Amino acid sequence: MNKKTTILKALLANLKMRQMLVFGCLIFGTGAMAQTTFYIKPEATGTGDGTSWENAGADIQLAINTAVAGDQIWVAAGTYKPNREANALDIILEADPDNAFVLKEGVALYGNFAGTEATLQERDLTILTNASILSGDFLGDDQVMETAVDFSIINNTENAYHVVLSVGGTDAPITAATVLDGFTITNGNSSTSFGTLTVNGVAVGKFTGGGMANYNASSPTIANILFVANAASYGGAIYNRNSSPLISNSTIAVNLAEFGGGITNAFSAAPIFTNVIVIDNQATAGGGVYNYESAAPVFNNGGIFQNHTSLGSGGGVFNNNAAPVFTNVSISENTAVGNGGGMFSTVNAAVILNGLTIANNSAVNGGGLYNDNQSNTALNDVILMGNEASDNGGGIYNFNSAPVLTDVEVKQNSAANFGGGIVNWSAANAQLTNVTINNNTATGGAGIFNNLNSAAVLTNSLVKDNNATGNGGGIYNREGSSPIITNVVITGNTAVSGGGIYSLTDCMPILTNVTITQNTATSQGGGLSNNNSSPILRNSILYNNTDTAGVNVFNFNESTTFYYYSLVQFSAAFGWDALGFDGGNNIDADPLFLGQSFTFQEDSPAINAGSNTVFAAEQTPDLSAITTDLAGNDRIYDDVIDLGAFEYQGVLNRPDVKAVSITYYPNPVTNQLNIQAVAAISKVSVYNMLGQEVITEDWNTNTGVLNMAQLKAGNYIVKVTAGKTVTNSIIVKQ
């Protein structure tokens, strides 16, 4: 993307968020009366003493030096350059790279004034209108230069190392009472020096935070800021060290660094970012954000977009021994020349991702996420979609790590080699619960690829419609990888061999209450294909998979599949020699699925055909903590467990039912369903085809209207209690 276009987009995005939060900003601005207000314009007016707009001063740092805690400094539109060394603020020294605007405890700086306002409420927060620009470009000649992939900033060798500094003293921290609000911060360059500058008794690295650096318990309030075209070795726009600033409603765009093109958080820094956009920044590692040395930043809302690493990993974010928390953030369209297009985490990083969309990122491995070297990432309510890997792990690549995924959807990701959706490699023991893995593509293991003794735990999940051009459409296990798979449906996947699951070399996956159906292999093993491996199936269903041999399973090279209490198609017709070992209590029958839901009709032979023992605490593996099926219903109903991922709940056939005259119209229904009965209707309940109750209402009428507008299209069971009778009917929702 053209950088000028990106900067304009960033400005507009910044403007949009400012408009969203302007009310909150005004409340903050009027919460405490300032003792004194200083007025600043690009050129002094009147007496120049800063007592009014008519007598505005022109020296921001002089106003800061003069102000005391509680004072405000109002800065009119224009460009301002630091004119005093950060460690000698009483002396004017033009165009020195050690110059910076140095914040002071309790003093608030507000920008974006036209220069006529009488109150903060009159301030125009539209940055395009009254931009108050703090610039480190002393010669005014910086340029952003682009190639097809990367960008650079030229003519900036004379620039200030830092445009803004906030440094807590040895015994005097900078608190949230210190405010920087309504500015554009640009053209800082701390990428050319490795020295230090002493400010407030603290050594500040000249290689950190080109736009702004926060050191030593410096936690100011930063709002409505555009950081653009800054450079550094660490933190092109912002560097936080042992500091916890509150940064909100801001945009960080087109900044450059070795580590953290937009932001670096280090040494126990714990800043909070709210409604912040990090877009089109570049670094060697951590194109957008770099977190290391026990940093624990919090990101709420906002987005990390279109950032890039020119050599290393973490196109959007790089976490190294850090514990960041991201909530309701979009991480999209980031690229890494190395691994982890959206995010790369390593060295005991403990990352929490809540409510994220991670989409359309790309890298060599781990197009969306790469979890490395004992990092532990927790994903809750996350969507990974459309990510790409030129090697392995389109959605997620886990290497010797143990991420925990809960309520996650991994869809439409791709990898050139293995693991279109997820890769678990080298003792990577991922835990996946309530995860949907669908429509991913790869050469092998289109849904999941487990390799080198990786023991993933997959529970209450769906592996569907993944496509491998090689082996393992749904899941590929290799080299001693033995996942524990429980309450899972594996369906609609395609491959050359092992449409559902392919296992190669010393793998012994344990499948409990798993439904494997409607998978396809263009060669052998539509359901399972095993090469020197021995899967174990318990309480499971292997039915209606397609391959050239027509028997669902292909065992070769000393492989044996073990079956216990399972429904195994063709076991009676072809015998067990072709299928594996009959451990007892297996059946060969049509499971009588209820449509494509893979729940059961009332007379299914799979109902009450399983063994409860496999869920007992003393068993290995211990599955006793799993108490529900894939639909969230009780795993054991009517005393004996069923086969497959779903437990029959008796919704259609178990209530006391007597003939009763009930009329439903229209059917199909778009929004409102009319229900009429001879007797008074006391209760109406609606269930989806998984047996989950989606609507329940108490009535006391013979005629009523049921609102079904909020339901998705499909078939539903409407259960009506009228008098002492109960009636169930199928209603089609359009």
Q: Are strands 484-491 and 457-464 parallel, antiparallel or unpaired?
A: parallel
Would residue 197 count as lying in a domain? yes
* Residue 138 region by backbone torsions, left for phi larger than 0, else alpha for psi between -120 and 50, else beta: alpha
Confidence check: pLDDT of 20 > 80: no
Confidence check: pLDDT of 433 > 80: yes
Clarify whether residues 192 and 281 are in a common domain. Answer: yes
Q: What is the CATH number of the domain that holds 672?
A: 2.60.40.3080
Q: 382 φ, ψ to 5°?
A: -120, 145
Mean pLDDT along residues 611-621: 96
Clarify whether residues 639 and 672 are in a common domain. Answer: no
Would residue 254 count as lying in a domain? yes
Clarify whether residues 699 and 602 are in a common domain. Answer: no
Please report which confidence band the pLDDT of residue 29 belongs to, taking 50, 70 and 90 as the band edges: very low
* pLDDT tens digits, 386-396: 999 999 999 99
Please report which confidence band the pLDDT of residue 368 belongs to, taking 50, 70 and 90 as the band edges: very high
Domain final position from 258, 290, 322: 290
Clarify whether residues 722 and 574 are in a common domain. Answer: no
- Amino acid in position 308: H
Mean pLDDT along residues 712-734: 82
pLDDT at 466: 99
Domain final position from 599, 614, 644: 644
pLDDT at 690: 67
pLDDT at 16: 43
Confidence check: pLDDT of 535 > 50: yes
Task: With beta carbons less than 8 A apart as the criterion, state whether 121 and 142 touch.
Answer: no
Please report which confidence band the pLDDT of residue 44 belongs to, taking 50, 70 and 90 as the band edges: very high
Residue % of the chain over a pLDDT of 70: 93
Cis peptide before 668 (omega within 30 of 0): yes
Q: 25 φ, ψ to 5°?
A: -65, -40
Please report which confidence band the pLDDT of residue 64 belongs to, taking 50, 70 and 90 as the band edges: very high
Mean pLDDT along residues 394-423: 98
Please report which confidence band the pLDDT of residue 551 belongs to, taking 50, 70 and 90 as the band edges: confident
pLDDT at 7: 52
pLDDT at 6: 53
H-helix or E-strand spanning residue 22: helix 3-29
Please give the C-alpha separations between residue 348 and each of 293, 340, 376, 384, 514, in angstroms, as whole numbers: 10, 16, 7, 23, 33
Clarify whether residues 636 and 718 are in a common domain. Answer: no
* pLDDT tens digits, 120-163: 999 988 767 899 999 999 999 999 999 988 999 999 999 999 99
Clarify whether residues 685 and 591 are in a common domain. Answer: no
Clarify whether residues 16 and 112 are in a common domain. Answer: yes
Clarify whether residues 704 and 597 are in a common domain. Answer: no
Would residue 705 count as lying in a domain? yes
Mean pLDDT along residues 234-240: 99
Would residue 103 count as lying in a domain? yes
Would residue 542 count as lying in a domain? yes
> For residues 661 and 671, what is the distance between their CA atoms, to the nearest angstrom?
23
> For residues 541 and 516, what is the distance between their CA atoms, to the nearest angstrom?
6
Tell me the β-bridge partners of 232: 190, 257
Would residue 465 count as lying in a domain? no
Please report which confidence band the pLDDT of residue 30 belongs to, taking 50, 70 and 90 as the band edges: very low
Instruction: Count the Cβ atoms, other than its own, within 10 Å of residue 45.
Output: 18
pLDDT at 2: 60
pLDDT at 100: 99
Confidence check: pLDDT of 32 > 80: no
- Minimum mean pLDDT among 28-37, 85-94, 498-507, 622-631: which range? 28-37
Sign, Cα dihedral of 439, 441, 446, 451: negative
Please report which confidence band the pLDDT of residue 688 belongs to, taking 50, 70 and 90 as the band edges: confident
Both tokens of residue 352? 């929490």
Task: With beta carbons less than 8 A apart as the criterion, state whether 644 and 517 touch.
Answer: no
> For residues 266 and 171, what is the distance between their CA atoms, to the nearest angstrom?
20
Please report which confidence band the pLDDT of residue 353 belongs to, taking 50, 70 and 90 as the band edges: very high
pLDDT at 651: 53
3-state secondary structure of 63: helix
Confidence check: pLDDT of 9 > 80: no
3-state secondary structure of 211: coil
B/e letters for 402-426, b = 16+ CB within 10 Å, e = fewer, are: bbbbbebbbbbbbbebbbbbbbbbb
pLDDT at 129: 86
* pLDDT tens digits, 159-208: 999 999 999 988 899 999 999 999 999 999 999 889 999 999 999 999 99
Both tokens of residue 641? 């467990």
Number of domains in the chain: 3
Please give the C-alpha separations between residue 583 and each of 484, 528, 560, in angstroms, as whole numbers: 19, 18, 12
Task: With beta carbons less than 8 A apart as the criterion, state whether 387 and 409 touch.
Answer: no
Q: Are strands 202-205 and 196-199 parallel, antiparallel or unpaired?
A: antiparallel
Both tokens of residue 212? 């702004």
Confidence check: pLDDT of 209 > 70: yes
Q: 13 φ, ψ to 5°?
A: -65, -40
Domain final position from 240, 263, 290: 290
Structural domain of 50: 1-290
Would residue 338 count as lying in a domain? no
Mean pLDDT along residues 204-224: 98
Confidence check: pLDDT of 282 > 70: yes
pLDDT at 22: 31
Clarify whether residues 136 and 265 are in a common domain. Answer: yes
Clarify whether residues 684 and 546 are in a common domain. Answer: no
3-state secondary structure of 273: strand
pLDDT at 509: 99
Would residue 390 count as lying in a domain? no
Mean pLDDT along residues 76-104: 97
Please give the C-alpha separations between residue 147 and each of 38, 278, 279, 588, in angstroms, as whole numbers: 44, 21, 17, 63
pLDDT at 725: 73
Both tokens of residue 464? 């569907």
Confidence check: pLDDT of 37 > 60: yes
Mean pLDDT along residues 506-512: 99
Clarify whether residues 618 and 681 are in a common domain. Answer: no
pTM, full prediction: 0.88
Confidence check: pLDDT of 524 > 70: yes
Q: How remote is the C-alpha of 623 from its chain's centroid?
A: 28
pLDDT at 348: 92
DSSP 8-state code for residue 57: B
Clarify whether residues 549 and 621 are in a common domain. Answer: yes
Q: How confident is the prediction for the chain on average, in pLDDT?
A: 93
